Amino acid sequence: MIPPKPAARPRRVSLWRYLRLFRQDILSAQPEHLYRAWMAEFRTPLFRSYLINDPVLIRRVLNERPDDFPKSSRISEGLRLLLGQSVFVTNGAKWKRQRRIIDPAFEGGRLRDTFPAMLAAADAAVARLGAAGDGPVEIEGEASHAAADIIFRTLFSIPIEHKLAKDVFEAFRDHQRSQPILNLAAFVPLPAWMPRLFRPEARATAARIRHLIHELTAQRLAEIGAGSAPNDLATKIMSTVDPETGERFDLAEMVDQVAIFFLAGHETSASALSWALYLLATHPEWQDKVAKEAVGLGAEFSSLSSLRVTRDVFREALRLYPPVPMMVREASKIEEFRNRKVARGSQIVLSPWHLHRHERLWANPDGFDPARWSTEEGKASAREAYMPFSSGPRVCTGAGFAMAEGVVMLSKLVGAFSFAPVEGRVPQPVAHLTVRAKEGIWLAMTPRDSIQA
């Protein structure tokens, strides 16, 4: 069974038709030939963009010369309301300073330190689903709840049931309904003086989220000052000194960073977990393997290493449904790509969605095959064409955290329940910032205890 993907648009459409399609969903707005092409150029009267699938060009942009290809300022326009000047949208010296302070929190033993909180959140998710009763379950909503719980437990040592955590989660859900995360202005070069088109509800929900995060962060700074703060990620980040400047994040800067930790750690993880569960529901032979392996997950961090099948299933879900389907950089000077001149200011689109399904780079690119990760051919493809967390200096600082979280949650849920697809509810992937299903992902769920009994 081939997992669902959007139908591609015709190769040639007008600019206005393309913009209408893009506003509905950036994946189905792209033509089919991008799954074969090494590079594609898109021209408009206002700007020019290049989608690159050539591994050599991708390495140049992300790994070899990242300073020459900063994040596009147009992308930040759709995120500024919520994220301010967080590490996700900044460039240059400011971004480097932010990473020098943030990265130590995710290095070495810190992941081991967060493992108990991940387990607790996964156990809480199992309990919530167990209390849901019979009938189909919309799993994206449940995955969002579980991912948010992990973020709050690991960042601030509080469960999702804590009033402030619950308020942030609910406000973020309201924000998603009021405004797509990725504003159309991100891809339309408007003059700096022209106001961006945000709905009043989106401005209100973004302000509420930031107010709540400000309250959480201010409380933690006070606890750090009093010597009573728990040893979690928030404390680590707020206490870390930039080795070059001797500075720490101030309160306003930390609010920006917590906003992106919540968005990136909650939205993307929920997307990946939802699609992984759907893929297992439609491939019961792999679900059985994950369920059998789940008995190996214990209270020790070292037990994660025994979940090899679960890890490969999660990797394959990230390949087929990368949470962030496209990344945009900007050429800071004139370049030459594949014997073609690229003007300064051109948008460079790197698309994990197309790269991970590229017909010249992967065997059976649209098929679900976790076994590929143990073959030499699959490993070679991964080296050339796999970047669910980006690559190079701007690789997601929480990539290791996200992989551990996904494997833990998948193991716990599949170990407790059997999942099956719901007839007539095939999810249609769509994307604005992350890849979700157009009308949710509905799965039938049966406790494994009752099956074994």
Identify whether 66 is part of a domain: yes
The mean pLDDT values, 10 residues at a time, for the chain of 453 residues are 78 63 72 93 80 98 97 73 86 94 85 94 96 88 95 95 90 69 47 53 83 94 95 94 94 92 87 98 98 96 96 98 93 96 93 97 98 97 97 94 97 97 94 85 90 55
Alpha carbons 66 and 72: distance in angstroms, whole number: 12
pLDDT digits (tens, 9 = 90+) for 225-268: 999 999 999 999 999 999 999 999 999 999 999 988 888 888 89
Identify whether 10 is part of a domain: no
H helices of 321-418, in order, are: 352-355, 376-385, 399-416
Identify whether 434 is part of a domain: yes
Distances (CA, A) of 186 to 80, 328, 381, 391: 11, 10, 31, 22
Alpha carbons 438 and 447: distance in angstroms, whole number: 27
Note whether 72 and 329 are within 8 A (CB).
Answer: yes
Identify whether 5 is part of a domain: no
- In our burial notation (b when 16+ CB lie closer than 10 A, e otherwise), range 173-190 reads ebbbebbebbbbbbbeee
Identify whether 341 is part of a domain: yes
Give residue for tokens 């590929």: 372
Q: Evaluate the CA torsion angle 227, 230, 236, 237 in order and state its sign.
A: negative
Per-position DSSP letters for 310-370, written without gaps between them: HHHHHHHHHHHS-SS--EEEE-SS-EEETTEEE-TT-EEEE-HHHHTT-TTTSSSTTS--G
**Residue of 176, 117, 111, 174 lying closest to 147 (CA atoms):** 117
Alpha carbons 323 and 435: distance in angstroms, whole number: 5
Identify whether 27 is part of a domain: yes
Identify whether 7 is part of a domain: no
Tell me the β-bridge partners of 444: 420
**Apex 160 CA angle, 157 and 166, nearest 5:** 120
Amino acid making up residue 446: T
Give the largest CA-CA distance in the chain. 67
Identify whether 242 is part of a domain: yes
pLDDT at 24: 66
Tell me the β-bridge partners of 330: 347
Helix (H, G, I), strand (E, B) or coil at 201: helix
Q: Which runs of E-coded beta strand occur in 19-60?
A: 39-43, 48-52
Full domain range(s) for residue 304: 15-452
CB atoms within 10 A of CB 245: 10
**Residue of 352, 425, 355 lying closest to 389 (CA atoms):** 352
Note whether 69 and 330 are within 8 A (CB).
Answer: yes
pLDDT at 405: 96
pTM here is 0.93
φ/ψ region of 396 (left if φ > 0, alpha if ψ in -120 to 50, else beta) reads beta
Note whether 268 and 144 are within 8 A (CB).
Answer: no
Per-position DSSP letters for 49-85, written without gaps between them: EEEE--HHHHHIIIII-GGGSPBPHHHHHTTHHHHTT
Amino acid making up residue 185: A
Number of domains, the chain: 1
CATH number of residue 361's parent domain: 1.10.630.10
